[in-house]
Amino acid sequence: MIVQGGMHVHKGSALNARAYVEADRHRCGDYYLAEGEGIAERIVASRDCSVTVGATLDGDQYERWVAGFDPATGLPKGRLRTDEHANRFQEITINGPKSWSLVAALIPEVAAAYDAAQARAATQVVAWLGAHLTYRVGRRGEQVQMPVDRIEAVMVRHHTSRAGDPHRHIHLQVNARVWGDGAWRGLHTVGFRDALAAMNGIGHAAMMSDPEFRDALARWGFTLDLATGEIEQLAPYVGAFSARAAQVTRNVERYEADWRADHPGSEPPAKLRRQWDAMAWADGRPQKKLADDPAEQTAKWVQHLRELGFEMPRYRAEVEATPPGRLDRDDAARIVVSRLAAKGSRWNAADIRGQVERLVAEVNIVTGPSVRIELAEDITARSIARCIPLVDGISPESHVRHLTSPHVVAVEDELAKRLAARSHVPTREDQQVRAIVDATTRRRAPDLDSGQLQGVGAIVSGPQLVVIEGAAGAGKTTLLGAAHEAHQREYRQLTLVTPTRKAARVADEQTGVSATSAAWLVYQHGYRWDDDGHWTRLEPGQTDPRTGRVYEGPGRDAKLRPRGTLLIDEAGMLDQDT
């Protein structure tokens, strides 16, 4: 998947910011920072989505820009904070799958097209941000959000990672100082964070749909897997490069952790980071050295691909794109809202835009930016029209996740009715429960307080609904272990499920109860679902359309027995459908 990452908020000194961008590539990329070459390309975007790409900034100008000064005049952008907690910029990364960087190493023509596509994607992201970001005015507790009039960003290009493997990417940094209502203001960082889905989606679709990049790939016989974005002819070789990169990264992280332990509160200098890079590459494989010259290193990558068995395609490929007019926009809006509902119960306009852009890329629309953006904006508007607000008086374009769908509300009502009915199921006699709890208390009395004992009693008292709440560290894990012991005393089944497999492993280790994920349990009982939120259920004897095998019913460990208890840990993290 392309451009699927988080954001980085840089606080503190501008010098550290310069070291940060200079360190995030291996020494073979040093020539990108050569004197006179510059390290950052400046972009200015306005509320009307107009974008101006300005001059390239050298290292000193970049530092001034980060610190909140105009790099040309040296004038401050309003009243600036100088403390170490001052927010300087927000950053996301524009990049594609590893196979895109591999093909760029193979073919200079494709490399140029890829670099241009990345730059166009970054520009489109900045243009969208210019029309949607905000700042806040007013006294604390009474602040209101206002739209920005102008924002500034920079693109910092790197062609390798710190691990020395091919990794073409752009650090897109949006300055924390924005222009609004005739004065410099502070960017609302929370609004930026809540727009991340739109930024990732726009970057993803901008490159997947870029005609020049797609044509360059096709001319050399390369095709894309629309589901993953990987180049099909190079995907089998990605693992070899990624594994080595992960090893080098782990080495660097180990060196840095050791250094920070000896130098608390300090930042490692750029020169030391470069030494770590060299050490990390040779660590464990001294016979392999990374070249200092970029051309020489590219040749090594190409040679490694050939050693792995890669052969260039022999024939030109065709870009079998879907014409934009063939996409049913209303149906696309329906799919978008369904996908959002499958992942959560509320969202904002930025979440919608992100899903729309990914859908446009998924159906293989290849067209210029103006056509794709009009298409995405229209489907976004149609999707918003299908939603209902959870709170009145909030703009549909707000960063607050206040939108939901009629389906989500209907499911919520149904859940409430079922849970309410379950809560009225008769429980066992208090005397019977007391005996079980007393037996458990005798063994675990030092570990259980009165609240935990009440929780154990509620869990073992019968088939009714029991909800147990507690903050982190309140002793819920200890309570689960005690409830497990109480069930064992009565030879009763306790089935523990969690929202994720990772959480199940943790619960298993901490409580001694064999835990599984909730998704595994419902899958065992025949339920099947897709990314669009469609659920079906197989009956024993039916053929599973995904696997082609006959479904025979839940396995032994998944069967829920009479008098047993189904216990859901962190139930609030489950999605509605599960």
Contact 240, 98 (CB under 8 A): no
**Which residue shows structure tokens 């203001």?**
185
At 525 the three-state DSSP class reads coil
- pLDDT tens-digit map of 348-367: 999 999 999 999 999 999 99
* pLDDT class of 72 with cuts at 50, 70, 90: confident
Per-residue pLDDT, 478: 73
* pLDDT class of 188 with cuts at 50, 70, 90: very high
Tokens of 281: 């590459």
- pLDDT tens-digit map of 324-353: 999 999 999 999 999 998 888 899 999 999
Which percentage of the chain shows pLDDT scores above 90? 38
Q: Report the 3 state secondary structure along 74-95.
A: CCECCCCCCCCCCEEEEEEEEE
Q: Is the pLDDT score of 117 beyond 90? A: yes
Q: Is the pLDDT score of 556 beyond 90? A: no
Q: Is the pLDDT score of 206 beyond 80? A: yes
The CB-based long-range contact list for 470-479 (8 Å cut-off, 24+ gap) reads 475/448, 475/449, 475/451, 476/569, 477/507, 477/510, 477/511, 478/447, 478/448, 478/452, 479/448, 479/452, 479/455
Concatenated DSSP letters for 222-251? Answer: --B-TTT--BTTTGGGHHHHHHHHHHHHHH
Most confident of 54-58, 203-207, 407-411, 524-528: 203-207
419-573 CATH choice from 1.20.1070, 1.10.8, 3.40.50, 1.10.238: 3.40.50
Q: Is the pLDDT score of 28 beyond 50? A: no
Per-residue pLDDT, 292: 61
- pLDDT tens-digit map of 270-313: 677 767 766 776 665 544 445 567 788 888 888 989 999 999 99
The residues facing 166 across adjacent strands are 160
Per-residue pLDDT, 376: 97
DSSP 8-state code for residue 544? P
* pLDDT class of 34 with cuts at 50, 70, 90: very low
* pLDDT class of 435 with cuts at 50, 70, 90: low
Give the span between the Cα atoms of 347 and 350, in whole angstroms. 8
Domain spans, the chain: 8-307, 324-406, 419-573
Q: Kindly report the pTM of this predicted structure.
A: 0.79
Among left, alpha and beta (phi > 0; psi -120 to 50; other), residue 342 is alpha
Q: Is the pLDDT score of 29 beyond 50? A: no
Mean pLDDT of 179-186: 94
Contact 316, 219 (CB under 8 A): yes
Give the span between the Cα atoms of 471 and 494, in whole angstroms. 23
Task: Tell me what the pLDDT averaged over the chain comes to.
Answer: 82
E strand or H helix at 512, and its extent? Answer: none
Of 463-467, 491-495, 574-578, the one with minimum mean pLDDT is 463-467
Give the span between the Cα atoms of 466 and 58, in whole angstroms. 63
- Residues 6 or more apart whose CB falls under 8 angstroms from that of 110 comprise 103, 104, 213, 216, 217, 220, 222
Q: Is the pLDDT score of 173 beyond 90? A: yes
Tell me the Cα Rg of the chain. 28
The residues facing 157 across adjacent strands are 170
- Residues 6 or more apart whose CB falls under 8 angstroms from that of 450 comprise none
The CB-based long-range contact list for 72-77 (8 Å cut-off, 24+ gap) reads 77/177, 77/184
Mean pLDDT of 543-571: 81
Per-residue pLDDT, 375: 97
Most confident of 309-318, 431-440, 506-515: 309-318
Most confident of 71-75, 384-388, 540-544, 566-570: 384-388
Per-residue pLDDT, 528: 85
Per-residue pLDDT, 268: 79
CB atoms within 10 A of CB 305: 21
Of 185-194, 419-428, 454-463, the one with minimum mean pLDDT is 419-428
* pLDDT class of 433 with cuts at 50, 70, 90: low
Give the span between the Cα atoms of 552 and 546, in whole angstroms. 15
